[in-house]
Amino acid sequence: MPKQPTAVDSFPQQFAEVKFDLPGSGLAWLDDRREAGIETFNALGLPTPRLEAWKYTRLQSLEDTQFRSARADDANAVVDLIPAVLPADPERPRLVFVNGFLRRDLSMTGGLPDGATVECLTETLERDTGWVETHMGGAIENDEHALLALNTAMMSSGVVIHIRPDVIVSKPIEILFMTGLTDVPVAYHPRNLIVMDEGSQATLVKHYVGAGVGAYLTNTVTEISVGPGAVLHHYRVQEEDLGATHLKSEHVRIGRDGTYDSFALAIGGRLSRTETFARLEGEGSHCQLNGAYMMRGREHCDNTTVIEHMVPNTTCREVFKGVLNDEARAVFQGRIVVHKDAQHTDGYQLSKALLLSDRAEMDAKPELEIYADDVKCSHGATTGQIDEASLFYLRSRGIPQALARNLLIQSFLGEALDEISSTEVRKAMMDKIVHWLPAHCFLADEWRDG
Amino acid sequence: MLEIKNLHASVAGVEILRGVDLVVNAGEIHAIMGPNGSGKSTLCYVIAGRDGYEVTSGEILYKGQDLTELEPEERAAEGVFLAFQYPVEIPGVPNTTFLKEALNAIRRHRGESELDAMECVKLVREKTKEFGIPDDMLKRPVNVGFSGGEKKRNEILQMAVLNPALAVLDETDSGLDIDALKIVADGVNALQSPECATLVITHYQRLLDHIVPDFVHVLANGRIRRSGGKELALELEENGYADFGEAAE
């Protein structure tokens, strides 16, 4: 019997078919990078559990599903309602991508100050190829990474954000990636470039959302460069469909006195993995990687982070909290590396999971690698169930069991949400959590608004 | 109001209550005293309906109905309130939100209309004023970072807002200094009325200087060994629980 082609075989084949239609085709530097990318992918293959970093997450579903590369006409799906995280505001830029392509009719670009660019990667490639050539790959330390290499070969769009020196963008920039409503499972590979020049500030909200039912694959790479004294608040909501495979890696470098502050809420997706590689490269820099996840059914959510302290006097803070129901599974792998010169590093890491079912599973792997001798680093990881004493306390006050459980789940996640500095975003995230909760939702307005 | 007949109860298969009989009428304050391990807290949890506290035989009748058939929240809605020895901390949930949810859950159960946030705050503010509870305790998450005294005062505030018919106080005096004790006792006394009954569980007599019981019972080895008037508490203070030693059975 002939062997069925698998995803590993089909991606190089797809690349051969579409490479002349990909944006920037004909630019020698980009063609070279794409070819090198597909070669690396071919050489490495999809990651398997034999790799230590992939011990808990299997990409079997990719082997079993035939994906077609998303085409421009997949972007024409009828979108009745834009599932934005924040309310529409003409003063706030919002880009909407559908199946990987920018939908200008659904996007708004108003409200940006001079010196701030928010556009589609394809536009930047046409406008200023040199800039893309300079910055693309700049935040990536290690490109021996199969999914990253695949993204480099196949990237078709993505968002480019460039905030020039000392420019402050006060309103959050929102980027939506909607996927679904296609005839067969599609795959696409967005490449986002975010460059914060010295002294600039911005808040970015990214929303990955499923538009219907069915399988699809998003393989995103985001490169972020936070310049000296710059501040980026980076919020993400992953609300993918039950059949979705959501893979992404974020590569962050932070310069002197710069701050990278991220919060990721994951509330849906059959298989999701977010890898964050953050490097604190300038003294006085600060990195926050926080998140919350809520998984049900047979969903699988993996948060893998590597924070590297390269120089003295840098700080990091990492708080991940999650709730797992049914047979859901979550993985937290958090590595903090303090290099030899990175004296006076202050690092904090916490992973907490709440299991609502006996069949749910949590795998937590905190790792501290410390090569400097004068540092402060702590970590903790706990997995538990709803506290019986707390539940009884609430019920003894008349609060029915279902409501009491919801209240305790909200209480548990609320602690993680406290890490979000933007009130507007925090409220929006709390709304998402409330809507995820099991039936008989507890909805206390004054709490969410508080 | 409350009628307990030959109550036997076990925790994790170990029999703790071994035939408790007790009758509490409306308008009465009863104190249950006893040595450590006599089953005092178990009796409280059995009345409130905590999981894992299993009634193996006997009855608990409350207003004539079998209490053991009801879920803890249903008991609360019917007017049973337990003030905890160790109130639980609930991070992230403001006290006001908690009180509003509890109050409205009980009102829904009784077929009464829910109170909106404003009405609820008004009611709670009245009670905080009445019992000298600082307003900032309302904004803070339930019991988080509260001192021992604040936690017990918070129990009394909840009791005042929920207005139960039967209040059970489990070692409410433990960990309190004399000023806090007095505030708590004043609260309990203010809430006592001819329509409601109070069951005070305590190890020491000193709480009963402030909450004066109509009846005192000695619980030892899982049974009521002796009952009497308030003078019984003084006698126990004098002689200790030696007469009711655990070996007595």
Roughly what angle, to the nearest 10 degrees, separates helices B95-109 and A401-417?
Answer: 160
- Yes or no, beta carbons of B73 and A387 under 8 Å apart: no
| Residue A398 to residue B82, Cβ atoms within 8 A | no
Interface test with A, best of B81, B88, B158 (most A CBs within 10 A): B88
Which among A222, A115, A113, A104 is positioned nearest to A171, based on CA atoms?
A113
DSSP A311: S
Mutation target among B98, B103, B115, B122 for the A interface, most CBs of A within 10 A:
B98
Question: Is some CB atom of chain A closer than 8 A to the CB atom of B48?
Answer: yes
B88 touches chain A (CB under 8 A): yes
A238 at the B interface (CB within 8 A)?
no
CB contact under 8 A, B76 and A396: yes
Q: Is B67 on the interface with A (CB under 8 A)?
A: no
Residue A299 lies in a domain: no
Query: Which ranges constitute the DSSP H helices of B82-142?
Result: 95-109, 117-130, 136-139
Residue A450 has what pLDDT?
38
Q: Which whole-number Å values give the CA distances from A141 to A108, A278, B64, B65, in the listed order? A: 34, 10, 74, 71
**Residue contact A398–B50, C-beta within 8 A:** no
Would you say residue A411 lies in a domain?
A: yes
Task: Give chain A positions within 8 Å (CB) of B98.
Answer: 394, 397
Query: Which amino acid appears at position A94 of this protein?
Result: R
Q: Is the dihedral of CA A166, A167, A172, A175 positive or negative?
A: negative
pLDDT value, residue A90: 85
> Which residue of B84, B94, B109 is in closest CB contact with A398?
B109
Contact A418 B105 (CB under 8 A): no
The CA-based dihedral angle spanning residues A441, A443, A448, A449, taken in that order and rounded to the nearest 10 degrees: 150
Residue B13, class by beta-carbon neighbours within 10 Å (0-12 exposed, 13-18 middle, 19+ buried)? exposed
Contact residues on chain B for A404, CB-CB shorter than 8 A? 73
Which tens digit of pLDDT belongs to each residue from A375-399?
A: 999 999 999 999 999 999 999 999 9
Distance CA B18, CA A433 (A): 47
**Chain A residues inside the 8 Å CB shell of B72:** 392, 395-396
Q: Which of A6, A8, A3, A4 is nearest to A44 (CA)?
A: A8
CB contact under 8 A, A398 and B76: yes
Find the closest chain A residue to B89 by CA distance: A390
CB contact under 8 A, A387 and B97: no
* pLDDT value of residue B240: 80
* Chain A CB within 8 Å of residue B162 CB: yes
Q: Within chain A, which residues score under 50 in pLDDT? A: 1-3, 440-450
Query: Is B97 within 8 Å of A446 when comparing Cβ atoms?
Result: yes
Give the pLDDT of residue A321.
96
Whether A398 has its CB under 8 Å from any CB of chain B: the answer is: yes
Mutate to test the interface with B, among A396, A418, A420, A429 (most CBs of B within 10 A): A396
Tokens describing residue B213: 């019981």
Of A398, A411, A446, the CB nearest to B92: A411
Which chain A residues touch B162 with a CB distance below 8 Å?
397-398
Contact A375, A344 (CB under 8 A): yes
pLDDT, tens digit (0-9, with 9 covering 90-100), for A19-67: 999 999 999 999 999 999 999 999 999 898 889 999 999 987 777 788 8
Contacts of B49 in chain A (CB under 8 A): 395-396
Nearest chain A residue to B76 by CA distance is A398
Q: What is the pLDDT of residue B163?
A: 92
Phi, psi angle pair for B177, to nearest 5°? -80, 175
Q: Does B109 touch chain A (CB under 8 A)?
A: yes
Query: How do the pLDDT tens digits run along chain B, 249 residues long?
Result: 999 999 999 999 999 999 999 999 999 999 999 888 899 999 999 999 999 999 999 999 999 999 999 999 999 999 999 999 999 999 888 898 899 999 999 999 889 999 988 999 999 999 998 888 888 888 889 999 998 888 998 999 999 999 999 999 998 888 788 888 888 888 889 888 999 999 999 888 888 889 999 999 999 999 999 999 988 888 888 888 877 764 443
What residue of A is the nearest CA neighbor of B118? A446
pLDDT of residue A8: 63
CA dihedral A33, A34, A39, A45 (to 10 degrees): 120
Whether A446 sits inside 8 A of B77 (CB atoms) is no
Mutate which: A393, A409, A418, A442, vs B, most B CBs within 10 A: A393
The tokens describing B113, both together, are 């209309």
8 Å CB contact between A170 and A111: no
β pairing state of A300-309 and A271-280: parallel
Q: What was the pLDDT predicted at A114?
A: 95
Q: Which domains does chain B have, with CATH numbers?
A: 2-248 (3.40.50.300)
Q: Any CB–CB contact under 8 A between A393 and chain B? A: yes
Name A126's Cβ contacts closer than 8 Å, sequence gap at least 6: none
Please tell me the distance in Å from B160's CA to the nearest CA on chain A: 12
Look at residue A40 and give its three-state secondary structure: helix
Tokens 């406008």, residue located: A127
Q: Is residue A201 part of a domain?
A: no
**Chain B contact set for A400 (CB, 8 A):** 71, 73, 105
Contact A399 B71 (CB under 8 A): no
- Confidence (pLDDT) at A334: 96
Q: Is B98 on the interface with A (CB under 8 A)?
A: yes
Q: How far is A419 from chain B (nearest CA, A)?
A: 12
Per-residue model confidence (pLDDT) at position A172: 94
Answer for the pair B155, B98: CB distance below 8 angstroms, yes or no: no
- Say whether A393 and B50 touch across the interface (CB within 8 A): no
Subunit contact B84:A393, Cβ cutoff 8 A: yes
Structural domain total, chain A: 1
Determine, for residues A407 and B93 on separate chains, whether the beta-carbon distance falls below 8 Å. yes
Q: Is residue A406 part of a domain?
A: yes
Tokens for A58?
């299997």
- Which residues in chain B have their CB less than 8 angstroms from residue A396's CB? 48-50, 72-73, 75-76, 81-82, 84
Q: Would A265 be classed as within a structural domain?
A: no
Handedness of CA B17, B22, B24, B25 (dihedral sign): positive
pLDDT of residue B249: 39
Instruction: Check residue A4 and report its DSSP letter.
Output: P
| Nearest C-alpha neighbor of B155 from the set B200, B212, B120 | B200
Left, alpha or beta for A15 (phi > 0: left; psi -120 to 50: alpha)? alpha
For residue B245, the model assigns a pLDDT of: 61
> Whole domain around residue A450: which residue ranges?
386-450
Of B51, B93, B97, Cβ closest to residue A388: B51
Closest CB to A447: pick one of B48, B75, B97: B97
Is A206 in contact with A233 (CB distance < 8 Å)? no
Considering only the beta carbons, identify the residue of B48, B90, B98 that sits closest to A396: B48
The answer to whether A434 contacts chain B (CB < 8 Å) is no
Q: Does A91 touch chain B (CB under 8 A)?
A: no
Residue B238 to chain A, least CA–CA distance (Å): 35
Quick one: tokens of A335?
A: 């590595």
